[in-house]
Chains A and B, each alone.
Chain A
Amino acid sequence: MKKNVLSVILAVLTLLAFTGCGTKPTAEPAPQKTDVEKIRIALVLPATVDDMAWGQSMVDGLKEVQKSMGEDKVEVAISEKLGNAVDAGSAIRQYATQGYEIIFAHGSQYQSVLNDIAKDFPETTFAYGTGFATQPNIFAYDPQAQEGGYLLGILAAHMTKSGVVGIIGPVESGDAVKYNYGVQQGVAKGKADVQTRIAYTGSFNDIVGAGNLAKTQMSAGADILTGSSQQAVGAVRAIGETEGNYWLSTDMDQSSIAPNHVLASQVYHWEKVVTKIIELRKQGTLGGQHLTLTLADGTIEFKYNEKLADKVPAEVKAAVEAAKQEIISGKLKVELPKK
């Protein structure tokens, strides 16, 4: 029947349009081991490669590795918008079948699907995070988001004029919880009378919702805001339209969105994690390690927005720096929320 044929054509067309931008396979077709030295890395992302947050920070890290090791030595393939673990699973399996040696599944939700797939490809290295459970060929990576959060919290406590710091939470889980808890402790440490207010949107990718929540936070008195996940850019943009409010960014430096409003950032240096995994693999360790990102090993960096650095009084900078050194030296351990 005409109707059915049309429906099928439509479905196929939309699927094409959909996958056409959903998956972004490598530009060059995989050369079959012509160069023994070349390492092939695949990355599966829940959101986009340019989300100015979790996903992009990893993409930037991989590009960094490519640059330092040489474009001809490292091949990178990326699939994005795979928030659904089942869809992500088929992409991961495909990469493994195509002979990618290291596959990053960049989200805590991929843990179980990875466990399934990794058994079938014992020679392939898989990595995912945030997480800690490993398998012989699965690395788990785990940014200690609370460390940078703590420093940003101290900064916020000193910089707020209204005495209210607002957190735009996505969903109360994983990385976000650690980060938020770190900020709360930092604020409390910085100034006892400054309040921290957490509100969640219930979503990771609702940028309009995050923007609206930021507006509500500000109208209720918060003048310094922060928050994790890819939706955060909506909040950054909302703050960018105001006067006298600041944003503290995490995962990566978001100051390009609002140069006059992003005061400081916690930046993840994924290139170091990726390099480490490549090295371990070369030495024959395919997985099984829980890799943390910390201030101490430089995989987490605390960074001021240079443009605004002079707005931060020297004694505040000193307080932040002191805390940072305490964390690095191990004298201070930023607590994690008790489960």
Chain B
Amino acid sequence: MDGVMSADIIVIILATGIRLATPFLLAALGEMFVQRSGVYNLGVEGIMMMGAFAGFYATLQLGTPLLGIAISLAIGALMGLIMAVVSVTFKAEQGISGIGLYMFGWGLSGLLFRLYVGGVTSIDGLKPIAIPLLSNIPIIGPVLFNHNGLVYTAFLLVPLSGLILYKTSWGLNVRAVGNKPEAADTLGVSVVRIRYECLILGGMLAALAGAFLTIGQANMYADNITAGRGFIAIALVYFGRWSPWGILLGSLLFSMADSFQSMVQVLGINFPYELAVILPYLVTIIALAISYGRVWAPAALGKPFQRGTRG
């Protein structure tokens, strides 16, 4: 098996890639709704940290990861609400308030951890659920159908997000509010309300992404556990052109490249490790550079909505 990409190795690379893609998918899909409504929330990383801590702490105290997920979602909603109050109601500069939220989340999660836990503490996280029959299919089975519940959730959220965005009235409102809020406003769609809803949804999904790291991967908590994944998620929203399928593609591309480079290193294939660790970023940037076509950034992205005063 030395240095040879056997079928087994490929299965490992793909299954790991699926697992690694999960937090990006969750956070990026949430941020996609936020940006589609015309707000960009750079605080994703901070919300992820809070979600990671909340999920971890609740699991530790209550003993069940499911409650951890529930509490993490609630904290995420709260963080999204804070961002909404600051950036939608008070119309603060979104870039600054997002970075503020990131630092707030980072500081607070670290502080709470120090106050209530401290030290390295393990929890019993989510267990993989092998889907009967499907998980027995050769190659595809172990790659796709032997993961924990949050992995399935993340991937099911892709078509679901597409359905919500393109087939529901609420999705239509989101797209309208992010592109031409004044038009939505004249038709009785509340711009403020839609943006609040999106920020809260985005916060919940970012927190879930964080909880996945503690409950679904590391089964422990440490300071700065997200290690920049929230920012990568934001980049993937741009990469995915604000579409769920694009985000899926970007998340998989990045994570598969990451999984691949780990395996290349592990198998001792002669390849400089400095290059290996930047491979996922490199692949993603190159893919972004060579892909072309019209970029559909939500036209009102980053602009606080203000109803015209004097006509």
The residues of A with any CB-CB pair to B shorter than 8 Å are: 2-3, 6-7, 10-11, 13-15, 17-22, 47-48, 50-52, 81, 166, 169, 172, 195, 197-203, 205-209, 211-213, 215-217, 219-222, 230, 233-234, 237-238, 240-241, 256-258
Contacts and interface: CB of A to CB of B under 8 A. Distances in A.
B138 to A, nearest CB: 17
A199 B263 CA distance: 8
Chain B interface secondary structure, helix, strand, loop or mixed?
helix
B193 interface: no
Interface string B268-279: 100001101110
B107 A50 contact: no
Most buried by B among A47, A199, A203, A221: A199
Nearest to B93: A7
A220 B259 contact: no
B190 interface: no
Contact of B120 (A17, A52, A215): A52
A164 B225 CA distance: 29
A255 B142 CA distance: 32
A9 B163 CA distance: 40
Given A3-B93, A207-B220, A215-B16, A20 B107 contact: yes
Nearest to A233: B120
Contact of A216 (B91, B96, B263, B274): B263
15 contacts: A3-B91, A14-B103, A17-B104, A17-B108, A18-B103, A20-B111, A21-B107, A22-B110, A48-B222, A50-B118, A200-B265, A205-B224, A207-B222, A257-B220, A258-B122
A230 B223 CA distance: 10
Interface string B87-130: 00011110011001101101110110010001110100000000
A230 B107 CA distance: 19
A258 B276 CA distance: 30
A10 B19 CA distance: 36
A251 B142 CA distance: 37
A264 B19 CA distance: 31
B219 A208 contact: no
Contacts of A257: 120, 122, 220
Nearest to A222: B266
A234 B219 CA distance: 8
Contacts of A20: 107, 111
B119 A234 contact: no
B86 to A, nearest CB: 6
A236 B223 CA distance: 16
B85 to A, nearest CB: 10
List 8 tightest A-B contacts by C-beta distance, closest first.
Answer: A202-B277, A199-B265, A21-B111, A17-B107, A18-B107, A206-B227, A14-B103, A50-B119
Contacts of B93: 3, 7
Contacts of A6: 86, 90, 92
